[in-house]
A and B are shown apart, each in its own frame.
Chain A
Amino acid sequence: MTEATLINPLDTLVDQFPSGWVKKDERPGYSGFIVEREHLLEFARTMRDDFGFDYLSMVTASDYLAEGKFDVVYYAYKTIGGPALIFKVQVPREDAVVPSLVALYPGADFQEREVWDLMGIRFEGHPDLRRILMWEGFEGHPLRKDWKEPFYEEDVKPYKSRWPEGKPVNADDRNPFNDNVQYPTGFDPERWVPEAETLLYSGLQRTTHNEEFKTDELIVNMGPQHPSTHGVFRMVVSLQGEKIVDLKPVMGYLHRNHEKIAERNTFLQNMPFTDRLDYTTSMSNNFAYALAVEKLMGLQVPERADYIRVLMAELTRIMNHFFATGFLLNDLGVYFTASLYAIEERELILDIFEEISGSRMMCNYFRFGGVVRDVSDEVLKKIHNLVYDRIPRKLDQFDAYLTNNEILRTRCEGVGVLTADQAIALSTAGPILRASGVPYDVRRADPYSIYDRLEFDVITGNHGDIYDRYLVRVAEIKESIKIVKQLLRDIPSGPILAGKPAYQVRVPAGESYGRVEGPKGEMGFYIVSNGKPNPERYHVRAPTFINLTSLAPMSRGEKVADVVVILGAIDIVLGEVDR
């Protein structure tokens, strides 16, 4: 780390490079820098090594059809905290090739594959540039603005066919194999035989020789239907005996192109869709999306609404961490006992969510400029009872149950180790990053809402193994309790929404990125508005999707039985991974 990493050099950044390499992004509402494609690698290396932007948080792209070009957008941060370095590469649509940053930031691996898959931008030098969410035979790149989905009606909602002359069309009668589905030329569904996944299998590392004793080499497909994969998720594992030589995750079985749906929706209509990314953390997802749009609108949230928001986000964290630790035990093979103990607390928190938002899991509670309805004193009393009495008591019980349990420790200590350097390079976030000893928490590193006034510790581990991840989660529950106590003490009265409730919001043109420290890691929404009622570009930085990049490095060299636990400790939800 040089001196330049400690000061903020972004103002004079353009002068640091030869002229023509980098220029400021001066479109109204935009920020950051536009880097020439030829110099991207050089620029990124300088920023990482000399300026300390060691954490590439997000890679995405947006399609500007009218201007005939793509923007590839990078958000890099320093793990010591501070604002983002936003840099972009503009490429023409007909020549969409960008140098890959995987060599510099291995965490860009899946994200670049996602951009290739959905946007059709090729990353030169990427070691394994295959589709990641769509299937290999898929025609086209669905996030391009000129791509149309089956059941396509209009570019944006609300659809004109609904009012004033709306006649329902039965969903069963709408044939998906009709006019606007695109197939590869010469494709015949009757005769189609799926290709053997040669590319996938040949990309796996293999060893042919074992020093100790003779073992066979095997390739095992764990999943897509496998009880330990937390959903429809597949791990292709090459084994030497019982030892894992290499692993490749295969995902996208639950892909529904959330981002395309969102670009058809109006800004407000996206709010309930963000709930459905992750059924355990809907409040945090709402929070991040609301922050992103409010940033564009320049809305100031009333004090009480801010308190309620953080209160809900922290309850979500408590709930999610209980859930994650409970199901970690499930993955270890103790079946449901521990998970059910953990779920009791979750159930009580869900009761609170149901009372204030109307739904246990799909809360849809946040609005731009506040929250939808106030929290009554009875509910605050309930939360009070939970954090002062029940949850600490249960946490102690959980502690006695698990923390010193020899079986848990033997299975978890030293398994799935990720060093601090690896964790940063792989762009992991949340408890995984912190368990590796990196004290990076968005609530502290880049405070949003009222977190700058709250007192809490950023929990870190020492070893970066599964046991540390478990400890970090349990300790974070304690920190969240601490936060909730402060909130209950200080919550002011007052309005809960800035302005009047409006079903159509005016969002000025520009881009914004709102991020929160969700229970699973940095949850972010990248939004581009063109001033119309619908977002031009909407991208989710899904924490578990990016955390999965670390699955293969963590699993190499471990036993095949441990890979289930390693996956469990990442705490994935496939709704968010596949989007």
Chain B
Amino acid sequence: MKNFGKRFGVMSSLGVTMGHFFNTYIVDLVKGKKRYRTTEGIEARRQSDTEGIFTIQYPEEQLPLPEEFRVLPFLVYDEGENGEKNLRCTACGICSKVCPPQCIWIYRATDPATGKPSPHPAEFHIDIDICMNCGFCAEYCPFDAIKMDHDFELSGYTRGESHVFGLDTLMKPVSYYESIRPANAAREAAARAEKAKPKA
């Protein structure tokens, strides 16, 4: 049997293919229905000891997204006591400076009383057709104000104007951020608390 492969190469190849073919059925029969369309089933099929059918059948099934997964930035706001939305963004412009394809446009607000620039964005635009999902804006934002999203199902019926996201589309609550990136959010909150301590 040892030298079988050397003498009957094609037969041995066909054996591999046949093994794959029967294995898919055997694994399904043994593991049963819970192998498909269940979270555990999908997780089990991604392990290094998986056998049988490998494909995740999107959209019926979906791969779990790792926390660091990144698609398109959004702006985080804290919810105030009376339901007001306090954007963390201070319009410092670092994200727009570091952006490789230069898809971020920020219009800094001016204080109506003094006429001086105030630390808020009056307008904030991201052209998602240009964005290359590199994550630099989130990485280098000193105020944890811009973060990368997890929502990758972005198809729509229009393009052009509708693909230039403004503040209304970009703003998302901090609770949403905590739900998609719990570990990162906790770490950043701890770091901010640490920073605030000596002053208090």
Contact = CB atoms under 8 A, between A and B. Distances in A.
A255 interface: no
Given A168-B125, A503-B94, A409 B132 contact: no
Contact of B160 (A172, A268, A372): A172
Nearest to B54: A344
A159 B104 CA distance: 10
A359 B132 contact: no
A351 interface: yes
B41 interface: no
B54 A171 contact: no
A401 B13 contact: yes
Interface in A251-291: 265-266, 268-273, 276
A273 B160 CA distance: 24
Contact of A503 (B70, B97, B130, B164): B97
Nearest to B104: A162
A272 to B, nearest CB: 4
A359 B135 CA distance: 10
A206 to B, nearest CB: 39
B96 A272 contact: no
A272 B134 contact: yes
Interface residues of A, number: 57
| A interface: dominant SS | helix
A166 interface: yes
A372 B139 contact: yes
Interface in A400-448: 400-409
Given A158-B96, A356-B68, A390 B49 contact: yes
A158 B97 contact: yes
A269 B48 contact: no
Contacts of A344: 54
Contacts of A372: 139
B140 A402 contact: no
A128 interface: no
A270 B132 CA distance: 12
Nearest to B130: A171
B89 to A, nearest CB: 12
Given A405-B10, A409-B9, A164 B117 contact: yes
Contact of B66 (A161, A268, A355): A355
Interface string A155-175: 001110111111110111000
B22 to A, nearest CB: 14
A359 B107 contact: no
Contacts of B94: 503
Contact of A348 (B46, B160, B161): B46
B49 A389 contact: yes
Contacts of B17: 337, 401
Interface in A319-354: 337, 341, 344, 347-348, 351, 354
Contact of A501 (B68, B99, B139): B139
Contact of B123 (A166, A171, A401, A501): A166
Interface string B117-140: 100000101010110111110011
A397 interface: yes
Chain B contact residues (Cβ within 8 angstroms of A): what range? 35 or more
A373 B68 contact: yes
B143 to A, nearest CB: 14
Interface in A42-80: none
B133 A406 contact: no
B36 interface: no
B68 A272 contact: no
Contacts of B173: none
Interface in B8-26: 9-10, 12-13, 15-17, 20
A354 B127 CA distance: 24
Contacts of B49: 385, 389-390
Given A167-B105, A167-B107, A269-B98, A406 B127 contact: no
B100 A168 contact: no
A272 B16 contact: no
Interface in A348-391: 348, 351, 354-359, 362, 364, 372-373, 382, 385-386, 389-390
B5 interface: yes
A81 to B, nearest CB: 36
Nearest to B137: A503
A163 B133 contact: no
Contacts of B164: 168, 170
Nearest to B124: A166
Contact of A382 (B48, B54, B97, B117): B48
A405 B16 CA distance: 12
Nearest to B110: A164
A397 B70 CA distance: 35
B148 interface: yes
A390 B9 CA distance: 23
Given A165-B107, A272-B134, A503-B94, A406 B9 contact: yes
Given A358-B70, A402-B13, A503 B102 contact: no
A387 B20 CA distance: 21
B108 interface: yes
Contacts of B12: 400-401, 404-405
16 contacts: A157-B100, A157-B102, A164-B91, A167-B105, A168-B164, A265-B100, A272-B134, A354-B66, A356-B68, A364-B135, A386-B48, A397-B16, A405-B9, A406-B9, A503-B97, A503-B98
